[in-house]
C-alpha cells in the first residue's frame, strides 16, 4: 500500500496533513503518535470508514478509491479494532458468519474457523458463546475473522492493551508468521517496547503530519517517545528517594463481595495493607475485578464494615462522602460519566467530588460557584489542562486533558489516601509522565497511593510494591524490585488465584 | 443533497433559548395546515386560537386561571425529569391531592376557622405526595418502571374520585347529583387583585421562584442535575439515586396535590366527577416547553393555557371540534422534543455526495 499526501479535515482542524505512508509486503509497520496525532483518522481512511479530502491511495500499484469497509475487505484490507464489534449473545461462528460476504454453511465455516485458528496458534471453539469468553479470546475472534478473508494487509489498533504478556507473546508469533507469508501489518500501539520488539519499520505522526520514519529496532523506547512528543519526555524519577513508610492508611481485610451482575467479577478474600509514603500498584488484565475493587474501596458499593479500614477505622459500610472527609480521594477508570459529568462545566465537576470536603464549596446547602471556578483555574494551571476557552463543558475536553483534570482535581486536595484506577489510560506520553510523577510525589510527601493499572510499563515505573489481581483474587503485594514481568504475567494468568486462596 | 446532524462540542446556549420558539412556530404552522385541510381560513383560525384570547380581559384572566395549576404541576415534574425520574402520573396526584384537601370541608363542614384553609392545603400536598410515593417506592424497591406505574395510578385515582362523589361524599341536599356539598367560605381560597384571580396564582409564582433558586444555587439542585445526566457520576459524588427518586416524586406529588386542592377550593368550590381537563398531562408539555426550568415553565404554562381557551374560541367561532386543542398540544410536545436535538447538534445540508460524515465500521 502506498498513500500519498492524504489529507483529512474536520471543520477547522487538519486531522491529517499530506500524510505519506508506504507499507510493504511482509512488513510489520508501526504507526506511532500521541493521542490526537491523527492515527485513527489515517487508518479509518485506509479501511474506508472515512473518505480523504485530498491525496490518493495506491494499492498494489493501482490507484484505488475505498468508499466503505466492504470495498476495503474486497481489496484484502482487514482491521482489528480496539473496541470489539461482537454480539455477546451469539456464538463464535455466528459472529464470524455475520461479517463474511458469503459465509456458506455454518458447519463448514465452523470447521474452517477451527482449522485456521489452530494453524495460526490462536485456537477457538466455534460453538462458544461470546459472552462467556474473556477479552483475550474475543480479540482472537476478531483476528480470525480477518484471517478468514485472506487479507493482504491487517490493521491492528492497540491489540495488546487487553492481553497478558503471555497472550501478547502469542499474538506476536502470529503476526510474525503472517508477515513471513507476505501479509503486511499496520500496527498501532502506545507500548514502545513491543514496537521495538516486533516492528520492522515505524512512522511517527505528530499533529497530523509525518514527522519521522525510523527503524524501531535501532531506537530505544525513550527515543521513540521523544520523537512522538517532539521533546524529551521527562523520565519519571521514582526510586531516587526511597519511601519513608508511615502507618497503614488503607487496610483491606479479607474483602469479599459477590458479583453484582452476571458479567461482573466477585471479589475473593482480598487483603492488602497500604502504608503512608508508598505507591502500591495492582496489575491485571481488564475485567478481573479491578472495577469492583475500586467501587468497594471508594464506598460506591458497600461491603461488610470490617473489610475496609481507613486510618484504622473500619468503614466498609460508610459512604464515599464519609471516606472523602477522612481525606481519601478517588479517581475512577471511566472519566466521562463516572469521574465527570459530560454536560457540566469543569467548575461544576469540581463540586462533584469536593462538595463535602473542607473546600468551602457548599455552605448551608448553597453552592459557591465562584470558589469552584477558582479551584478549576488552579487545576488547569498546575496540571496543564488545555481547553479551547475558560471553564468549558467536560465533554469538550480531549481524553488526555480530561484525565489530567480528574486526576488533578483530587491531587489538588493533597489527599492522605489516593486510589486511582487506570491513571493514564489513553493519555499521551507527555501527560502520562506528568500524572505518574505527580502520583509518586504525592506518596513521597507522606500520602498513600493505590494505583490500579493494566499497563505494566507504568506499574514498574511508579510502584514500590506490586500486587496482581486475577478473577477477583489478589496476590500478595511484593516489592517492585523483586518482581519481574514474567512473574507478573504468570500471576495475571491465574497464579494470583491460587496464591490468594492460600493466603 | 443530504442533511446531516453534526454533534456540537458543547451545548449551544442560543439554541437552548431558541428551540422552544422554533417549536411554537412549527406548531402554529402545522395548526394552519390542519385548519386549511378542514376547510377553514387558516389565518382566522390562528388568530382566534392564539391571539384573540389575549385581547380581552376576561379571557386573559381565564388563561391565567388555567395556567396556574399547569405551572405548579410542571415545576414538580421538572424536578422529576431533571433527575431522570419519569413521573407521568401528575394527573392522579392532582386528583388525590384534591380528595385529601376536600375531606375537611366535606366531612367536617362545621369546622370553620382560620386553620381550615391551611390544613386543607397541607393535607392536599400530603395526599399528592403519598400517591406519588407509590410508584417511587415500587421503583426503588422492585425496580419497576415508574412510567407505567405512575400512569396507571391516574386511572385508579380518577375512579376513586368518581366513586366518592357518587357515593359516600355525595351532597345529602344535592338532589342526587354526583357532586359533593359546596365548601364553606372558610374553606374557599380568597381572591386577590380585586377579585380577578384566586390566591393560587401568587402562591404558585412564589413556589416557582423558590424552586428556580433551589435548582440554580443549592447542592440539592446540583444533585438533581448530576443524577439526571449521569447517575454513575452522581453516586461517585456521594448522592443516593434512591433517595432522590423518593424526593423528586414526593415533591412533584405534593405540588400536584396542592394544585388539586387549590383548584377545588378556589375555582370549583366542590368536588365533581371530573375536576381536571387533563392538567396533569398537559403539565408534562409545559415542563418540557419551559426547558425544565421553573422560570421558563411560568411562560410555558401561559402558552399551554392559551391552547385551552383558544380551543374553546375556535369551537364557538369556526365550529371546529375542541379536540383541536389536544391535537395542538400534542404537536407542540412533539416539536419541543424534536427541536431539543438542535441544542447539542448542528444541522448541516450537504449539496453533493461529499466527504464528511463517518460511515459505520462494519
Nearest CA in chain B to A44: B361
Q: Please, are residues B307 and B328 in contact by the beta-carbon 8 Å criterion?
A: yes
Does a structural domain hold residue B258?
A: yes
pLDDT tier at A502, thresholds 50, 70, 90: very low
Which range scores top for mean pLDDT: A238-242, A436-440, B124-128, B172-176? B124-128
Distance of CA A302 to the CA centre of its chain: 27
Nearest CA in chain B to A397: B9
DSSP state of A491: I
Topology alike, domains A2-229 and A248-327+415-502? yes
What are the tens digits of pLDDT across the range A104-144?
788 888 888 888 888 887 888 888 888 777 777 888 888 88
How is domain A248-327+415-502 classified at the CATH fold level?
Rossmann fold (3.40.50)
Beta carbon pairs, A and B, within 8 Å: 91
A475 CB-near residues (< 8 Å, 6+ apart): A467, A468, A469, A491, A495, A496, A499, A500
CATH architecture under which domain A2-229 falls:
3-Layer(aba) Sandwich (3.40)
Question: Residue range A458-473: average pLDDT?
Answer: 89
DSSP state of B202: H
Residue with grid cell 417511587, as numbered in its chain: B136
- Kindly determine whether residue B222 and residue A355, on different chains, have CB atoms separated by under 8 Å: yes
**Closest-CA distance of chain A to residue B1, Å:** 17
What residues of chain B lie within 8 A of the CB of A351, using their CB?
222
In terms of Cα–Cα distance, which of A459, A439, A458 is closest to A449? Answer: A439
Question: Is it the case that residue A5 has pLDDT exceeding 90?
Answer: no
- Kindly determine whether residue B359 and residue A48, on different chains, have CB atoms separated by under 8 Å: yes
Q: Where are the alpha helices (DSSP H) in A329-455?
A: 346-354, 369-382, 399-411, 429-444
Residue with the bigger pLDDT between B111 and A306: it is A306
Question: Residue range A27-40: average pLDDT?
Answer: 79
What residues of chain B lie within 8 A of the CB of A321, using their CB?
238
pLDDT at A356: 86
Question: Residue range A229-239: average pLDDT?
Answer: 60
Question: Residue range A256-268: average pLDDT?
Answer: 82
Question: Residue range A326-351: average pLDDT?
Answer: 91
Give the CATH number, domain containing residue B261.
Answer: 1.10.3470
Supply φ then ψ for residue B225, to 5 degrees: -70, -40
pLDDT at A497: 65
Which residues in chain B land under pLDDT 70? 1, 351-362
Give the count of beta carbons closer than 10 Å to the beta carbon of residue A436: 24
Does a structural domain hold residue B38?
A: no
Rounded Cα–Cα distance for residues A200 and A186 (Å): 11
What percent of chain A shows pLDDT beyond 70? 91
pLDDT at B142: 94
pLDDT at B253: 97
Residue with grid cell 477522612, as numbered in its chain: A326
pLDDT at B298: 95
pLDDT at B126: 97
Q: What is the dihedral of CA A293, A296, A299, A304, to 10 degrees?
A: -160
pLDDT at B138: 96
Best mutation target, B15, B230, B346, to test chain A (most A CBs within 10 A): B230
Which H or E run contains A282?
strand A279-283
Residue with grid cell 505522526, as numbered in its chain: A205
B110 CB-near residues (< 8 Å, 6+ apart): none
pLDDT at A10: 63
B261 CB-near residues (< 8 Å, 6+ apart): B97, B98, B100, B101, B102, B120, B121, B123, B124, B125
pLDDT at B359: 41
Domain that holds residue B200: 69-320
Best mutation target, A326, A345, A352, A393, to test chain B (most B CBs within 10 A): A352
A181 CB-near residues (< 8 Å, 6+ apart): A26
**Closest-CA distance of chain A to residue B250, Å:** 20
Give the count of beta carbons closer than 10 Å to the beta carbon of residue B58: 10
Query: Backbone dihedral region of A426: left (phi > 0), alpha (psi from -120 to 50 degrees) or beta?
Result: left
B324 CB-near residues (< 8 Å, 6+ apart): B31, B34, B49, B311, B314, B315
Residue with the bigger pLDDT between A161 and A347: it is A347
CA distances (Å), origin A321, targets A234, A297, B230, B234, B235: 36, 12, 18, 12, 10
Backbone CA torsion sign across B9, B296, B210, B229: negative
CA distances (Å), origin B183, targets B9, B55, B258: 57, 33, 17
Residue with the bigger pLDDT between A223 and A78: it is A78
Give the count of beta carbons closer than 10 Å to the beta carbon of residue B197: 16
Count of domains forming chain B: 1
Rounded Cα–Cα distance for residues B201 and B68 (Å): 6
Does a structural domain hold residue B345?
A: no
Backbone CA torsion sign across B301, B303, B305, B308: negative
Rounded Cα–Cα distance for residues B101 and B88 (Å): 22
Nearest CA in chain A to B360: A49
Which among A300, A356, A365 has CB closest to B235?
Answer: A300
- Kindly determine whether residue A352 and residue B220, on different chains, have CB atoms separated by under 8 Å: no
Which among B11, B229, B236 has CB closest to A332?
Answer: B236
Q: Where are the domains of chain A?
A: 2-229, 248-327+415-502
pLDDT at B215: 93
pLDDT at A386: 82
pLDDT at A239: 52
pLDDT at A8: 74
Rounded Cα–Cα distance for residues A7 and A5 (Å): 6
pLDDT at A35: 63
Task: Annotate B141-186 with DSSP letters as a single string.
Answer: HH---HHHHHHHHHHHHHHHHHHHHHTTTS-TTSTT-S--PPPPGG
DSSP state of A413: T
Question: What is the longest distance spanned by two Cα atoms in chain B?
Answer: 79
Question: Is it the case that residue A39 has pLDDT exceeding 90?
Answer: no
Which among B222, B232, B361 has CB closest to A49?
Answer: B361
Nearest CA in chain A to B229: A341
pLDDT tier at A234, thresholds 50, 70, 90: low
Question: Is it the case that residue A14 has pLDDT exceeding 80?
Answer: no
A386 CB-near residues (< 8 Å, 6+ apart): A398, A401
What residues of chain B lie within 8 A of the CB of A344, using their CB?
225-226, 229
Q: What is the dihedral of CA A85, A87, A92, A96, to 10 degrees?
A: -50
Q: What is the 3-state secondary structure (H, E, C) of A461-489?
A: HHCCEEEEEECCEECCCEEHHHCCHHHHH
Lowest average pLDDT, out of A80-89, A125-134, A251-260, goes to A80-89
Lowest average pLDDT, out of A50-64, A367-381, A434-448, B332-346, goes to A50-64
pLDDT at B14: 84
Rounded Cα–Cα distance for residues B137 and A104 (Å): 53
Which range scores top for mean pLDDT: A374-388, A416-430, B75-89? B75-89
- Kindly determine whether residue A330 and residue B359, on different chains, have CB atoms separated by under 8 Å: no
CA distances (Å), origin B176, targets B168, B171, B173: 12, 7, 8
Give the count of beta carbons closer than 10 Å to the beta carbon of residue A176: 13
pLDDT tier at A241, thresholds 50, 70, 90: low
Residue with grid cell 395546515, as numbered in its chain: B33
What are the tens digits of pLDDT across the range A179-217?
888 888 888 877 777 888 888 888 888 777 887 888 888
- Kindly determine whether residue B220 and residue A365, on different chains, have CB atoms separated by under 8 Å: yes
What are the tens digits of pLDDT across the range B302-356?
988 988 888 888 888 888 887 888 888 889 889 988 988 888 888 887 765 444 4
In terms of Cα–Cα distance, which of B114, B70, B120, B93 is closest to B269? Answer: B120
Q: Please, are residues B8 and B345 in contact by the beta-carbon 8 Å criterion?
A: yes
Q: Helix B13-37 and helix B324-344: axis angle, to 10°?
A: 150
Residue with the bigger pLDDT between A81 and B39: it is B39
Amino acid at each position: 500500500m502506498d498513500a500519498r499526501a492524504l489529507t483529512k479535515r474536520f471543520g477547522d482542524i487538519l486531522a491529517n496533513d499530506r500524510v505519506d505512508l508506504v507499507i510493504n509486503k511482509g512488513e510489520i509497520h508501526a504507526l506511532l503518535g500521541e493521542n490526537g496525532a491523527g492515527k485513527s483518522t489515517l487508518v479509518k481512511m485506509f479501511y474506508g470508514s472515512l473518505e480523504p479530502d485530498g491525496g490518493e491511495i495506491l494499492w498494489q500499484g493501482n490507484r484505488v478509491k475505498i468508499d466503505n469497509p466492504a470495498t476495503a475487505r474486497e481489496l484484502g484490507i482487514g482491521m482489528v479494532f480496539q473496541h470489539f464489534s461482537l454480539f455477546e449473545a451469539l456464538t463464535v461462528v455466528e459472529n464470524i458468519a455475520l461479517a463474511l460476504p458469503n459465509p456458506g454453511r455454518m458447519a463448514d465455516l465452523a470447521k474452517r474457523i477451527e482449522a485456521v485458528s489452530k494453524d495460526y496458534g490462536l485456537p477457538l471453539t466455534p460453538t462458544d458463546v461470546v459472552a462467556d469468553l474473556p477479552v483475550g479470546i474475543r480479540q482472537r475472534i476478531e483476528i480470525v475473522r480477518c484471517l478468514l478473508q485472506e487479507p493482504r494487509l491487517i490493521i491492528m489498533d492497540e491489540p495488546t492493551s487487553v492481553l497478558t504478556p503471555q497472550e501478547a507473546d502469542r499474538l506476536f508469533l502470529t503476526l510474525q508468521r503472517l508477515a513471513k507469508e507476505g501479509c503486511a501489518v499496520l500496527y498501532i500501539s502506545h507500548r514502545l517496547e513491543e514496537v521495538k520488539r516486533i516492528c520492522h519499520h515505524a512512522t511517527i505522526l505528530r499533529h497530523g503530519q509525518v514527522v519521522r520514519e525510523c527503524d524501531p529496532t535501532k531506537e530505544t523506547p525513550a527515543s521513540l517517545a521523544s520523537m512522538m512528543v517532539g521533546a524529551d519526555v521527562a523520565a519519571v524519577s521514582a526510586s531516587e528517594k526511597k519511601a519513608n513508610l508511615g502507618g497503614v492508611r488503607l487496610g483491606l481485610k479479607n474483602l469479599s463481595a459477590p458479583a453484582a451482575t452476571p458479567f461482573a467479577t466477585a471479589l475473593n478474600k482480598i487483603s492488602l495493607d497500604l502504608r503512608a509514603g508508598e505507591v502500591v500498584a495492582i496489575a491485571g488484565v481488564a475485567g478481573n475485578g479491578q472495577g469492583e475493587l475500586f467501587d468497594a474501596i471508594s464506598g460506591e458499593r458497600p461491603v461488610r464494615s470490617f473489610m475496609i479500614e481507613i486510618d484504622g477505622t473500619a468503614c466498609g459500610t460508610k459512604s464515599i462522602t464519609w471516606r472523602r472527609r477522612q481525606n481519601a480521594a478517588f479517581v475512577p477508570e471511566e472519566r466521562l460519566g463516572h469521574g465527570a459529568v459530560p454536560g457540566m462545566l469543569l467548575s461544576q465537576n469540581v463540586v462533584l467530588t469536593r462538595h463535602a470536603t473542607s473546600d468551602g464549596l457548599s455552605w448551608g446547602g448553597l453552592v459557591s460557584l465562584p470558589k469552584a471556578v477558582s479551584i478549576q483555574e488552579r487545576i488547569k494551571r498546575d496540571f496543564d489542562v488545555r481547553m479551547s476557552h475558560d471553564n468549558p463543558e467536560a465533554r469538550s475536553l480531549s481524553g488526555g486533558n480530561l484525565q489530567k483534570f480528574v486526576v488533578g482535581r483530587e491531587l489538588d486536595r493533597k489527599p492522605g489516601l489516593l486510589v486511582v484506577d487506570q491513571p493514564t489510560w489513553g493519555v499521551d506520553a507527555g501527560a502520562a509522565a506528568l500524572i505518574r510523577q505527580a502520583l509518586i510525589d504525592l506518596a513521597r510527601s507522606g500520602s498513600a497511593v493505590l494505583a490500579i493499572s493494566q499497563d505494566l510499563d507504568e506499574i514498574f515505573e511508579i510502584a514500590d510494591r506490586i500486587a496482581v489481581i486475577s478473577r477477583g483474587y489478589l496476590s500478595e503485594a511484593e516489592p517492585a524490585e523483586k518482581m519481574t514481568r514474567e512473574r507478573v504475567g504468570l500471576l495475571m494468568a491465574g497464579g494470583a488465584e491460587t496464591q490468594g486462596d492460600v493466603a | 443533497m443530504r442533511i446531516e446532524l453534526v454533534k456540537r462540542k458543547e451545548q449551544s446556549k442560543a439554541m437552548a433559548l431558541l428551540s422552544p420558539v422554533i417549536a411554537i412556530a412549527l406548531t402554529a404552522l402545522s395548526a394552519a395546515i390542519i385548519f386549511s385541510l378542514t376547510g377553514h381560513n387558516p389565518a382566522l383560525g390562528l388568530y382566534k386560537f392564539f391571539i384573540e384570547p389575549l385581547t380581552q380581559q376576561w379571557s386573559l384572566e381565564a388563561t391565567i386561571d388555567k395556567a396556574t395549576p399547569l405551572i405548579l404541576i410542571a415545576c414538580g415534574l421538572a424536578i422529576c425529569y431533571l433527575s431522570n425520574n419519569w413521573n407521568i402520573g401528575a394527573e392522579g396526584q392532582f386528583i388525590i391531592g384534591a380528595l385529601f384537601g376536600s375531606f375537611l370541608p366535606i366531612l367536617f363542614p362545621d369546622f370553620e376557622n382560620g386553620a381550615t384553609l391551611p390544613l386543607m392545603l397541607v393535607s392536599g400536598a400530603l395526599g399528592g405526595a403519598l400517591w406519588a410515593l407509590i410508584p417511587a417506592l415500587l421503583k426503588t424497591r422492585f425496580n419497576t418502571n415508574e412510567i407505567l406505574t405512575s400512569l396507571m395510578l391516574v386511572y385508579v385515582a380518577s375512579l376513586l374520585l368518581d366513586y366518592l362523589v357518587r357515593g359516600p361524599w355525595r351532597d345529602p341536599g344535592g338532589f342526587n347529583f354526583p357532586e359533593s356539598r359546596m365548601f364553606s367560605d372558610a374553606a374557599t381560597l380568597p381572591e386577590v387583585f380585586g377579585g380577578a384571580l384566586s390566591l393560587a396564582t401568587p402562591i404558585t409564582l412564589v413556589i416557582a421562584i423558590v424552586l428556580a433558586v433551589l435548582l440554580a444555587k443549592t447542592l440539592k439542585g446540583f444533585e438533581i442535575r448530576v443524577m439526571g445526566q449521569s447517575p454513575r457520576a452522581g453516586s461517585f459524588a456521594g448522592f443516593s439515586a434512591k433517595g432522590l427518586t423518593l424526593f423528586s416524586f414526593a415533591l412533584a406529588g405534593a405540588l400536584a396535590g396542592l394544585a388539586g386542592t387549590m383548584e377545588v377550593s378556589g375555582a370549583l368550590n366542590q368536588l365533581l366527577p371530573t375536576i381536571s381537563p387533563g392538567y396533569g398531562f398537559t403539565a408534562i408539555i409545559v415542563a418540557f416547553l419551559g426547558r425544565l426550568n421553573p422560570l421558563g415553565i411560568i411562560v410555558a404554562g401561559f402558552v399551554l393555557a392559551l391552547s385551552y381557551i383558544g380551543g374553546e374560541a375556535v369551537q364557538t367561532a369556526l365550529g371546529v371540534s375542541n379536540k383541536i386543542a389536544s391535537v395542538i398540544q400534542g404537536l407542540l410536545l412533539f416539536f419541543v422534543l424534536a427541536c431539543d436535538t438542535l441544542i447539542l447538534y448542528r444541522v448541516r445540508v450537504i449539496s453533493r455526495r461529499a466527504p464528511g460524515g463517518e460511515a459505520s465500521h462494519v
